[in-house]
Amino acid sequence: TAPIHFTMSGEDTAAPQVMEDLPGVLKLLSDGSVVRGDEAVLWPEDPLPDVPGVQWKDALYHAARGLSVRVYRPSSSVTAAGGPKLPVLVYFHGGGYCIGSFAQPHFHTYCLRAAAELPAVVLSVQYRLAPEHRLPAAIEDGAAFLSWLRGQAELGVGADPWLAETADFGRTFISGASAGANLAHHVTVQAASSQQDVHPVRVAGYVLISAFFGGDERTATEADPPADVSLTVEGSDMFWRMSLPVGASRDHPVANPFGPESPSLASVDLPPVLVVAPESDVLRDRVMGYAARLREMGKAVEVTEFAGEQHGFSVLRPFGEAANELMLVLRRFVYTGTTSNSTSH
């Protein structure tokens, strides 16, 4: 997959100027308008094999915003009526808060695998994208989704039949990849800090895969990037410019959880976290720094590093060796809550 670069135009013309450009995919013009193309150019062209044994459907969770959640469950769970229910894995897709979709084939395939192999009820959440809907819109959507999930848990037998039959809301895990991992962090913090009452849903843990964090001061891996990255520093900066409130810096609390204006997490009763850190990622130092800061606060943190892997490896190569190993790591975390060590693969 080609690295994500950006271009910026400074020429004076009568027509609106192109301020940001992800070639063929997304243009932000000087009048605030947005031109979208085909995101398929960003993804590997190889067809994805099917994942048997999983049922899925879409359900509306926010009618006014037209937002849906894709619900996945193993087919075997249907035949085991009255049997033990499955943990719930909430999943937010990646794309720098500007691109991506819960229906995109690579994110869809990842969720199929997670539902089948953990096994779990996987809930892949659609959220509003920037620059049409700048942050914190996506975080508001994440909170709205948790409110919907709480309503489903309270309804019991009156809930969506798939959830009523299969979901153990007391074992809910919030996860995401890249920007989705950033979103998972903020949604988890809101639920853990009593900003949002989600009972009887219990957030038992959260999972950040290739998390998309930022900051004004460059880290070592940003200043001297690894070779062969899938996301460049310039591309990362562009996504923040297009997604954060206009004029905000990368130290904005959404981008930088430990920035100068970010609320302290020391007193927040965070659940255990699994931090997945690919080695060949310009954001690696930010991801490792996130884990280190939480550990200093006494939080339960497990870090799993993947040598030689790129940002977004879990969806760029959803059947690769690293993705296979990630499924095993995720299964262990969800079913045993292991948070006592750091591992490398």
Q: Which residues are catalytic?
A: 178, 281, 311
**φ, ψ for residue 130, nearest 5 deg:** -85, 160
Instruction: Decide: helix, strand or coil at residue 129.
Output: coil
Spatial CA neighbour of 259 closest among 273, 239, 244: 244
Buried b (16+ CB within 10 A) or exposed e, 210-236: bbbbbbeeebebbeebeeebbbbbebb
Question: How many other C-beta atoms can be found within 10 angstroms of the C-beta atom of residue 268?
Answer: 18
Instruction: Decide: helix, strand or coil at residue 321.
Output: helix
Half-sphere exposure of residue 24: CA atoms within 13 angstroms, side-chain side: 9
- Outline where the chain has alpha helix (H): 75-79, 105-117, 137-155, 161-166, 179-192, 220-223, 233-243, 284-296, 313-316, 321-336
User: Whole-angstrom Cα distance, residue 339 to residue 180?
Assistant: 21
Spatial CA neighbour of 245 closest among 130, 139, 134, 131: 134
Specify whether the CB–CB gap between 167 and 234 falls below 8 A: no
Cβ burial of 190 (10 Å; 0-12, 13-18, 19+) is middle
User: Whole-angstrom Cα distance, residue 79 to residue 42?
Assistant: 39
Residue 277 pairs in a beta bridge with 305
First to last CA, the chain: 22
